[in-house]
Amino acid sequence: MIEFRGVTKRFPDGTVAVDALDLAVEDGGITVFVGPSGCGKTTSLRMINRMVEPTGGTILIDGEDILAGDAATLRRGIGYVIQQAGLFPHRTIIDNIATVPMLLGWSKAKARARAAELMEIVGLESEMARRYPSQLSGGQQQRVGVARALAADPPILLMDEPFSAVDPVVRESLQDELLRLQGELGKTIVFVTHDIDEAVKLGDKVAVFRTGGILAQYDEPGVLLTRPADGFVDGFVGRDRGYRGLGFLSDELPLGRLATTRLGSAAPAGAWTLVVDHADRPQGWLADRHRVDGAAVTAEHLVPGGSLYDVASGSLRSALDAALSSPSGQGVAVDAEGRVVGSVSADDVLAALATARAAA
């Protein structure tokens, strides 16, 4: 457990970055610090590994004051991931990842073996091992940064806006990858972001900071969205928080029938038909205006299909988004393998929402 007890950071010019912070980060979960620029979230994170020294109060890790020991030793036991990865440009990817184990005295062979294992875990191809950071995309570099932070198997991982410099599609992929890794590894993660959507997606608990380094609210994401502590949190979370809150509600929705055809088959009659591949995975929609009598369906005929609803999640937000983003008005429901199993409608989601609220 990481505990902040009355922690303050005051800079020489008198600026208070963090003001009497009391907060406990539970083991084995993701705690997100979120807030506007200048609110002290990054300073709070960097005080955990003493990249910034507190000027008042106490920070404890498993009951031990972090100021009692050597700062370098402390940092070697804490993984640290920053924006734009911060990789060594003159080192290969495998040697970037092996950096901390080698500092801890591991042999080069052992450290590189661990690095190769981690490349697979974070989704990097083995042939990238001998490349240099400049030869990788931004998303790939961030994966290397995560692998490097995990190399010595630290119990704590600090992540300072690690995904903010990549495009939205890559960012969502990296968020999903982090959640997958956390499900396997169970680290204690403190994650800083300015994006409330990222915070509620990733956090087991979310700490909202206000300008001046004051903690405004510290709660589970669902509580934060439905019961903001004050007007500042209410405004920061945003007026579409009700939609975000659907992500924390789940139910077994009724699935409707869905007309489908395969790529290469003759186009059937009907206003909208979902086109699938040989494994029944959705490829897009065929609209009536794109049909040619007797002609086979090709990729050129397809209309993008919107998001998909994974029935295993039961997420009402995912189901509603699938229905609203579909050009046909029918959300596409898929199983864990991505195969089409039916359709969902916005009306069914809203009915399930009413049921969930009545049961709350």
Domains of the chain: 2-248 (3.40.50.300), 260-359 (3.10.580.10)
pLDDT value, residue 113? 92
Report, as ranges of residue numbers, the positions in the chain whose pLDDT lies below 70: 84-85, 239-251, 267-270, 288-295, 356-360
pLDDT value, residue 162? 86
H helices of the chain, in order, are: 41-48, 71-76, 93-97, 99-103, 108-121, 138-150, 168-185, 196-202, 221-226, 231-237, 241-245, 316-325, 346-359
pLDDT value, residue 250? 60
pLDDT value, residue 159? 93
Q: What is the pLDDT of residues 127-177, one digit of tens each?
A: 899 999 989 888 888 889 888 888 888 899 999 988 887 778 788 888 888
| Residue of 192, 217, 190, 214 lying closest to 8 (CA atoms) | 214
pLDDT value, residue 49? 94
Report d(CA 225, CA 204) in Å as an integer: 13
Give burial (CB, 10 Å; 0-12/13-18/19+) of 148.
buried
Report d(CA 92, CA 87) in Å as an integer: 10
Site of tokens 């003493």: 50
